[in-house]
Chains A and B, each alone.
Chain A
């Protein structure tokens, strides 16, 4: 069965500092991987996704993620965090197509001045 682990429930970073959010997955084949962001009381917005090819994926809002098969990881990074990045971030994994996508429990990001 597929699963996703986001080991950090809550992270606090200073504005302008770099950010890395961790995501580890369990899946038998090459997975489809996603990162979503959610502002309080809102739906989820797709930041980026990986299906195949280049293991470093660029997304919106200056985010990127790297797929590392050997570590079963898909960590999200941003070189310089802005106060508007404060939100909850979800990693997800799935087989593609109409099949079920499994979401992690989320990491809440707080940005301090």
Chain B
């Protein structure tokens, strides 16, 4: 079955530590996205990538970093510079054109800073 997987489902981090969230897709989609979700604020775009080895900052990129070395993978690192990292993180992917400009989401990772 094709889809998007995110791991881990729950992640706990001590203050000052970097953590990396995994996102993998086997949908053969070109574009991938990372969103942060906080209660009452909807989804906010952190980073997105249209092709391998290229990515762009979204609205709230400060304190985050990404890489896109493979089409299937788009890991997100939450650095110690992110002041308030506790949130629900969602990864998505899409393929454009012909009415298929739709983002498909993974199940999410809940990050809690202790």
Cross-interface CB contact of A104 among B42, B94, B105, B106, cutoff 8 Å? B42
A98 with B30: CB separation less than 8 A = yes
Quick one: closest A residue to B59, CB to CB?
A100
Q: By the criterion CB–CB under 8 Å, are B108 and A9 in contact? A: no
Check A63 for interface membership: any CB of B closer than 8 A: no
Contact of B96 among A34, A98, A103 (CB under 8 A): A98
Q: Does any Cβ of A come within 8 Å of B65's Cβ?
A: no
CB distance from B72 to the nearest CB of A (A): 17
Given the complex of chains A and B, what is the CA–CA distance between A94 and B42 in angstroms?
15
* A contacts with B: majority SS: loop
Interface size class of B (residues with CB under 8 A): 20 to 34
- Residues B94 and A49 in contact, CB atoms below 8 Å apart: no
Any B CB within 8 A of the CB of A90: yes
Q: Within the assembled complex, what's the spacing in Å between the Cα atoms of A47 and B94?
A: 16
Q: Say which one of A12-20, A38-46, A66-74, A77-85 lies at the interface with B.
A: A38-46
A49 touching B42, Cβ below 8 Å: no
A39 CA to B64 CA, complexed, in Å: 26
Cβ-neighbour of B105 out of A44, A52, A98, A105 (below 8 A): A44
User: Measured between C-beta atoms, what is the minimum distance from A89 to chain B in Å?
Assistant: 11
When chains A and B are docked, how far (Å) is the Cα of A97 from the Cα of B50? Answer: 10
B8 at the interface (CB under 8 A from A): no
Is B52 positioned at the interface, with any CB of A under 8 Å from its CB? no
Q: How far is the CB of A100 from chain B (nearest CB, A)?
A: 6
CB-defined interface of A8-42 with B at 8 Å, one 1/0 digit per residue? 01000000000000000000000010101000011
Chain A residues closer than 8 Å to B90, beta-carbon distance: 43-44
In the complex, which of the residues B96, B99, B107 has the most CB atoms of chain A within 10 Å of its own CB atom? Answer: B99
A-B interface, 8 closest residue pairs, ranked by CB to CB distance from nearest: A43-B105, A105-B42, A97-B96, A103-B43, A44-B105, A96-B101, A103-B42, A98-B50
